[in-house]
Every structure is written in C-alpha cells, then in structure tokens.
Amino acid sequence: MDDFVAEMMKMGLLEAKNQGDEASRFVSLVQRFIDAISRDRERAVASRHFLRIIIEETEFENCSILFWDNDLRKLRLTAAYSLDDHFEVVQRYREDLSFKWGENLAGQVFSTGNPIYIENKAEQALPELPVAAATPASLACIPILQLGVLNLSAYHPQEFTPLLRRNWETIGSVIGHLIIGLPGTSGSRCQAAPEVIAQLKTPTKPLFAETPVSHLALDFMPQGICILDTKGRIVRANRSIAEQQGQNLPELAGRSPGVLFQDPALFEKLLAKASESDAGRVERTDVSLMNSTGETYAADINLIRLSDSGIWIGYLLVIEDMTRKKAFSDKVVQSEKLAALGTMAGGVSHDFNNLLMSILGHVQLISPQIEDQEIRRRLESIEKAVYDGSNTVRRLQRFTERERDPEAAIPVVDIDEAVKDVVELTRPRWKTLMERAGCKIEIRRDIQKNSHAAINASDLREVLTNLLLNAIDAMPEGGIIAFRSYLRGERLFLEVSDTGIGMGREVSEKIFDPFFTTKGISNSGLGLSVSWSLISRFGGDIQVKSKPGKGATFVISLVRAEPAKRLVIEKAGDAMSSSRLMLVEDDPEILNLLRDMLRLKGHQVVALSDGEKALKMIDSTNFDLVLTDLGMPVISGWEIARHAKAKKPGMPVVMITGWGAQYEDTDLASRGVDLILSKPLSWDKLLSSIEKLLGGQRETQASGKN
C-alpha cells in the first residue's frame, strides 16, 4: 500500500461518520479493496477481486478493468466480472479485447483523463460498442490514474449525481495506487503512455485537475473545513461546507470566510489572533453562522495556522455545526427544569390531596341529609371544584414523567371527539368575547376518519386547550384556527394552526421551556411546557413552525391506536354485605372520614393511625380487606401491604394515597397491592372498589369449597 492510501486512512476517510449517505458505501469499498490487495499480490487477480467487490456493493451488473500495455501501445483487458459470474452463470469475455490511444469510449477516457457517464441510453447517445459483451442502458468509464480505465455498466438507467461522480473518480485513483503498490508492476506493461506523460508535463493542459489526498479526504469529513491562503482567503472548501451553507463551492473560492459568519468582523478578529498567538490556534464555541438563505445556526470554530518547515503557508478553518447537539442539550436542560418543578409539585400534592379529600368526603356525607335544593346545588358546586382541583394536582404530579409503565393499559382517544370537546369548552373565549370586540374567530376542522391515538383523553384536551387559547391570544384582530389530522404509518399527526402574529426563531426555540412566556408576569409560562410533558409521556412529540407575521403551526405526533372498548362502571348499591376491614391512615381527619364512610354502609372497621399497631393487629385479627395510606411516618403503606399478604395471601390490599397519579396505570401486585385509589376519591368509588375486590374474594373461596 503506498502513501496515498495510507494518508487517506490516517486522515479519517475510513472513519467517516456520515453513515447512511454515499460516503459510507465508498468507504466500505475502499476497505474491502485494501483487504483484497493484502491477500492477492498479482495484478490480474487483484483487479478481478476489485470488480467482484463492486458488483456486490453497487447496482452495476457488468464491470471491467483495462490497463495500458506500453509494448503493444494499447489498452488491454486485464479483468472482467458480472452479476452472472457472481451467480456462477457462464459468461464469456473477449480476452484479446484492446483499444488504441483515443479509440472507442475507453481510449477516449484514457487519452483525455476525463470520465464519461451515460445515465440513460434512451436520452443520451451511447457510443457504439461493437466488441462489447453486453448492451447496457447506463455506463461509466473512469480513468485509473495514468494506468488504464474502469468500466461500469447496468441494464437499467442510473443517475450519476455530482457526489457519485466524484466518489467514483476517487475509487479510480484508489485502485490505481493500490495496483502501483503491487510487486512487479513497474515494468513496461504497467507504465503510463508517453502521450500521457507528455500531457502531464504541459502545465497549460493537465490530464486531470490536481487532487491532493488531503483534498480528497476533506470531502468525507463531517465537519465543515476550509483551507485558507496566507491572507485568509478560501482556497478549498469541503462538501460539508456546501451542505451547511446551501451554496456551490466555486462561489466561495477566493472569498473571506467572514461571509459564513453572522458577524463577519468576528472572523477577522479570529484571524488576527491565530496569526499573532504562539500556538497559532484559536477556538471559539457557540458562534453564530449564517447560511445562504439568511438562517443562523450555532457552530464551534477552530482556526489553525499552517506551516511547512517553518514557512507559513496558510490556515485551516474547521466548522462543526452544533445544531443537533445544541438541540439535544436544550432537551436535557428542559427535562431537568421539569424534574425540578415536578419535585416541588410532588412535595405539596400529598397534603393538598388530603385537604381535598377532607372537603369532598364531608360534602358527600352531608348531601344525602340535605333537602333544601339550593343548598344541595351549592354542595354539588363544591364537589365539582374539588374534582377540578384534583385534576390540576394530578397533572402536576405527572409533569415530569417521561415514560409510562410498559405493562400499563394503553389509553385511547378519538381525536375528532377531543377536538370537538375543546372547541365547545373554549367557545365563550373565542366566540362571545371576540365578537363583542368586533372580531371573529373561524374554527376549521379537517380530521381524518378513524383517527385514534394512544394518550389519555383528558391530557390531550389539556394540550389542545392550551394551544387553542394561545392561538386566540395571537390573533387580537381575529383570524382562523385550523385543526388537521393525518396518518403516516404507525404515527398520527395533529396540526393546530393559526393566522396570528407568529414568532421568531428565538421565541420558538424556548417556547416549551418551563416559566418562559411572552405575555408578561400575569402568565405562568407553564402551559406549553406541561403540554410537551403530557405528549412526550405517551411516546409523542410536539413541534412548532412559525415566522413573524405568518402565524404558527403546532404539529403533534402521537402513536396510532385502535378504538378502545367502552367500559361501564356500576355505581355502588345500597345493599352491601358487611365485611371486617382494617383502615390505616396517619391523618386523623381523613381517618375518621373514611371510617364513617365505610361504617355507614355496614362494614366493621378497625381504624388505626399508627403503622406499628396495624402490623400487630394484622397478626392477631382476621380481616377481609386492608386499606392503607402510602406515605406514613415510621411504617409505610408498602410495609403494611407486604405484611398483610404474608399473613393472608388472598386478602385484598387497597392503597389510598395523594400520590396515586404516579401509580394509577401501574400493576403493583408484585408489591402486595391489589388496587390504588387516588385522593380525593368519591364515596361511590370507594365503596364500589371495595365491593368488587370482596366479591372476587368470595367467588374464589366458593370455588375452592366446591
């Protein structure tokens, strides 16, 4: 292997990070060529291996290599390989195939050093090939340095993009240098033709453009790289620069890299520092660059002064686009903010739910005894307010949950129903108030049939309500709000668009951050961050597309789901069999309230606020069911549950907790808990849940006796 291939490997060609693009395929080709050359030291055998690798790795169906024979003064066939050979189908080639200088397609390519590509013979004239073994629809003839040519063809049309052409020309150079490195290839039969040597000596007409290995390798590097002269002007820019900037490379040659910077003066400062510093190197992070369309992006910059034997020859500018890394970092920061807020929410949710439980319990115990309809109506209003407060706490508890329990039941929502509910719920805001101000909001719905997604209906309604109200705020003069859904494979997309004032890039990048708001101190800045949390919890995503004055479109991506079967929850009846229950709760108010609820329905209840006493009571007394709070001092609800199951495995255990939202969709049977009930809970839910568990226990006991 000569210095050409070794330097390419050293500079990172074979370590290219751009997986999935054309570069990775050609890197694989080069690596396999090198492996083949290490085994086969004879030129014809090595060439045939090169061709076999090309057939295996690409869509070509026939290929051949012809080298210049200086004694015969002709290009002669050295090796050929086809798809038929690969499948052991007999394929004959003309072993005496040869071309004179400039003769036919191969001779033209060899004499000029310029490759020829035919993408589709139906659209491009295909040179006559009277001696060809195949009649292709597309072909490529590529010079192998000054040694010969590589022929590639297929029976179907192929597109040769500029990138593909450049890569194949590089492959031709690689094959040439690998062949030169073989023993016994320096004789007259492996020399360049005198005509080629003459052209190479003529500077005004080179055989092909000079392509130093450093330039070739640069095009395979994921970072944007510019080679600058001593004045800081661009001499060479690699392909990544073109991808970042969205413009042709020739347009950059001879210009200052300052055109890539949002602040061109910044580059001049970096250039001065690199010139003056002893290290000859300047680094700068999070620099704002600007592409050809005027959009900015963040990048890390390295500017290095280059010298050769102490002589200053120019600079190397390395630009690493940090857009993806920065987006990932922003997501991490956002998650940490949400986690901090979730911790604070969790700290108060337990006590607040206990307070709501106390209010709800007393209201429900009093209501049956009140005959005055006005008082009953007011009590019902209090009860409704308690449930609304409970939903608010539940959302806060779920605020930072990024993943759901994989064993939890998958909730399903009908997108059309959710949109209708939200539109009706917010109607007073978008219709009445706006019409009073002389403005009009038009709601448009384009929801695809059978649009169901895997997310809680209440969570989706919360998200859509936030988006709808934000859209209304963005349209003080009125406008259009549109809901549109569509399916893409296993994903369902829901777009919420408005014709409002829109937003710039700076705002749209922060819009999902907790506490970020553009509405002043009267707004919490939590609406969209909560929305993002709720959507991501169910494996979804939410993005925004907006420009100032052009409105905004929020795109929600959700997991597609099949319609769920509706479940009917029966209300607890008045007649219930009496059972012996244990109730453990450290809050005296809640303890007495739950005890009264259960006793009023005929149950025998032992109510304890001390966890240690509860454990002893379980050992000494036979209970039908145990109800316990989760968060208690000294002895937790988990310990009560484990102890109860150890004493009597078939006895149901119910956990009643203010943190229930965190466990609602989780199977806790392995921890000794049969059911989680979240505070505040209604009288009916408490009684019906207990009756269901006890009924199942009685059926099990009856079947055991039979």
Tokens of 357: 């439980």
Position 553: which residue type?
T
Question: What letters, b where the CB count within 10 A reaches 16 and e where it falls short, cover 621-636?
Answer: eebbbbbbbbebeebe
3-state helix, strand, coil in the chain (%, to 5): 45, 20, 35
Q: What pLDDT score does 340 carry?
A: 63
Q: What pLDDT score does 149 carry?
A: 93
Q: What pLDDT score does 653 carry?
A: 92
Strands (E), 223-295: 224-228, 234-237, 281-290
Residue among 557, 536, 606, 366 nearest 453 (CA): 557
Low-confidence ranges of the chain (pLDDT < 50): 1-2, 4-20, 131, 186-212, 249, 399-400, 402-407, 521-524, 566-575
333 phi and psi, to 5 degrees? -60, -40
Q: Using an 8 Å Cβ cutoff, are 137 and 60 in contact? A: no
Strands (E), 377-512: 413-414, 441-446, 452-453, 479-488, 491-498
Q: How far is CA 617 from the centre of its chain?
A: 54
Q: Under 8 Å CB-to-CB from 553, ≥6 apart: which residues?
A: 495, 496, 497, 498, 544, 545, 546
Question: What letters, b where the CB count within 10 A reaches 16 and e where it falls short, cover 649-684?
Answer: eebbbbbbbbbbbbbbeeebeeebbbbbbbbbbbbe
Tokens of 193: 């033709």
Query: What DSSP letter does each residue of 518-566 carry, written as one string?
Result: SS-TTS-S-HHHHHHHHHHHTT-EEEEEE-TTS-EEEEEEEEB-PPPPP
* Identical fold, 223-321 and 413-559: no
Q: Under 8 Å CB-to-CB from 364, ≥6 apart: which residues?
A: 383, 597, 682, 683
Instruction: Report DSSP state, residue 441.
Output: E
CA 669 to CA 693: how far, in whole Å?
Answer: 13
What's the CATH number for 3-200? Answer: 3.30.450.40
Among all chains, which residue has been given the structure tokens 């209604």?
Answer: 682
Which class is 413-559 in CATH?
A: alpha beta
CA 334 to CA 73: how far, in whole Å?
Answer: 71
Alpha helices in 119-251 (DSSP H): 162-180, 194-200, 213-218, 239-245
- Asked if the peptide bond before residue 680 counts as cis, ω within 30 degrees of 0, the response is yes
CA 256 to CA 234: how far, in whole Å?
Answer: 6
CA 294 to CA 276: how far, in whole Å?
Answer: 32
Q: Under 8 Å CB-to-CB from 92, ≥6 apart: which residues?
A: 133
Q: What pLDDT score does 17 carry?
A: 38
Among all chains, which residue has been given the structure tokens 């949390």?
Answer: 533
662 phi and psi, to 5 degrees? -75, -15
**Domain 223-321 bears CATH identifier 3.20.20.80:** no
Q: With the C-alpha atoms ordered 497, 501, 507, 512, is the resulting torsion angle positive or negative? A: negative
Tokens of 5: 């291939």
In three-state secondary structure terms, 130 is coil
Q: Give the predicted TM-score (pTM) of the model.
A: 0.36
Q: Using an 8 Å Cβ cutoff, are 527 and 477 in contact? A: no
Residue among 98, 102, 101, 82 nearest 90 (CA): 82
Residue among 569, 590, 597 nearest 368 (CA): 597
Query: Where along the chain do its domains lie?
Result: 3-200, 223-321, 413-559, 580-705
CA 693 to CA 209: how far, in whole Å?
Answer: 84
Which class is 580-705 in CATH?
A: alpha beta
In three-state secondary structure terms, 347 is helix
Instruction: Report DSSP state, residue 400.
Output: T
Instruction: Report DSSP state, residue 430.
Output: I
Q: Under 8 Å CB-to-CB from 143, ≥6 apart: which residues?
A: 109, 110, 113, 114, 115, 149, 150, 169, 172, 208
